[in-house]
């Protein structure tokens, strides 16, 4: 007997909502069987969901995940699928490295502003205080 899963089981396993799974179904990314009103997910559906969730974490769009999943060909291997995924992973790495460089520049700027503020405060604390001037009565 083949392993089957409920929507609740898979949603909990992958840390997503049942609504998200229904959305993936509406988009044609998942196609569970039905038993009455209940959705019944197969091991293959679970694998597809795992790939979709992993793709989202890697920054792939749902359309890109669909494209890569559709490339799988059990008869001829998955070389094309792997090459496309590798290409996309490399693109994502370049984008993340650029974002990281931007964040590092922002952190350096924050460090400089913080150091300036601390220096100004230290200077203000060590400066002699002037006695308050008395106002002349008129």
User: What CATH number corresponds to the domain at position 34?
Assistant: 1.10.1660.10
Residue 73, phi then psi, degrees to nearest 5 = -130, 100
Number of domains in the chain: 2
Domain span including residue 54: 1-60
At what angle are helices 43-57 and 62-70 packed, to 10 degrees? 130
Provide the pairing of β-strand 4-5 with 33-35. unpaired
C-alpha atoms less than 13 angstroms from C-alpha of 48 in its C-beta half-sphere:
20
Cβ burial of 138 (10 Å; 0-12, 13-18, 19+) is exposed
The distance from CA 120 to its chain's CA centroid, rounded to whole angstroms, is 39
Q: Is residue 136 pLDDT above 90, yes or no?
A: no
| In a domain? residue 36 | yes
| In a domain? residue 138 | no
| In a domain? residue 132 | no
pTM of the model: 0.70
Q: Are residues 79 and 110 in the same domain?
A: yes
- Reported confidence tier of residue 7, pLDDT bands at 50, 70, 90: very high
Query: What mean pLDDT, rounded, does the chain reach?
Result: 90
Distances (CA, A) of 103 to 3, 15, 60, 115, 116: 45, 28, 21, 18, 20
Three-state secondary structure call for residue 33: strand
| For range 75-89, the mean pLDDT | 88
Q: Are residues 1 and 35 in the same domain?
A: yes
| In a domain? residue 76 | yes
Q: Are residues 86 and 55 in the same domain?
A: no
Q: Are residues 78 and 53 in the same domain?
A: no
The residue among 22 and 75 whose pLDDT is bigger is 22
The distance from CA 29 to its chain's CA centroid, rounded to whole angstroms, is 19
Q: Are residues 53 and 96 in the same domain?
A: no
Q: Are residues 1 and 56 in the same domain?
A: yes
| In a domain? residue 134 | no
């Amino acid at each position: 007997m083949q392993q089957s899963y409920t929507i609740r089981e898979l949603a909990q396993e992958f840390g997503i909502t049942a609504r998200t799974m229904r959305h993936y179904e509406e988009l044609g990314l998942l196609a569970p069987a039905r038993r009455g009103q209940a959705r019944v997910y197969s091991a293959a559906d679970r694998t597809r969901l795992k790939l979709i969730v992993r793709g989202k974490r890697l920054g792939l769009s749902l359309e890109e995940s669909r494209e890569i999943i559709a490339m799988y060909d059990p008869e001829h291997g998955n070389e094309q699928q792997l090459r496309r995924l590798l290409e996309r992973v490399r693109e994502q790495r370049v984008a993340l490295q650029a974002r990281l460089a931007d964040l590092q520049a922002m952190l350096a700027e924050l460090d400089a502003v913080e150091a300036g503020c601390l220096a100004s405060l230290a200077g203000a604390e060590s400066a002699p205080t002037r006695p308050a001037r008395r106002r002349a009565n008129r």
